Amino acid sequence: MRYIITQSQLHTLVYSYLDEMFSNEDFERKINEYDKSGNTWRIHMNDDNGHERIVYFWFGPGEDDDGNPHNGTGSLHVHPDVADFIRNTFSIRQGKALDIIGDWVSEKFDVDIDEIDIYPNRKSPPNY
């Protein structure tokens, strides 16, 4: 059976799932120990079982420890299990699921997100 819901209802449902998934997490910004300026940091989001599921990286203006230039970039890595659960539960495409996850992280931590990807890579293709 399929139900039609509004965009805001979809966001509310996904946000509730994510809030529940990360309910026991005490988030903190961790400064990159290799960045002497303190301008590069990350937030690790583990599920209630302690498995890392989402990681946000902020690369401030300047160069990272590999010499790559950044103008201030927020990058989000989402575990495939999180994206696939949302994609399958709500019958939406992966890009839409990642965008909603990105919106949740952006609102929860008041951060900018410039890129979102699946990490680590899936061991096998997802079922569509």
Residue 124 is assigned to a structural domain of this protein: no
Residue 96 is assigned to a structural domain of this protein: yes
- Distances in Å between the Cα of 5 and the Cα atoms of 21, 25, 55, 84, 89 are 22, 30, 29, 19, 13
User: Which of 11-15, 28-32, 85-89, 99-103 has the least mean pLDDT?
Assistant: 28-32
Residue 21 is assigned to a structural domain of this protein: yes
Q: Which domain holds residue 105?
A: 7-118
- Using a cut of 0.75, tell me whether the model's pTM lies above it: yes
- Distances in Å between the Cα of 85 and the Cα atoms of 37, 82, 91 are 38, 5, 10
Residue 66 is assigned to a structural domain of this protein: yes
50-105 pLDDT tens trace? 889 999 999 888 776 677 777 888 999 999 999 999 999 999 999 999 999 999 99
106-118 pLDDT tens trace? 999 999 999 999 9
Residue 75: predicted pLDDT: 95
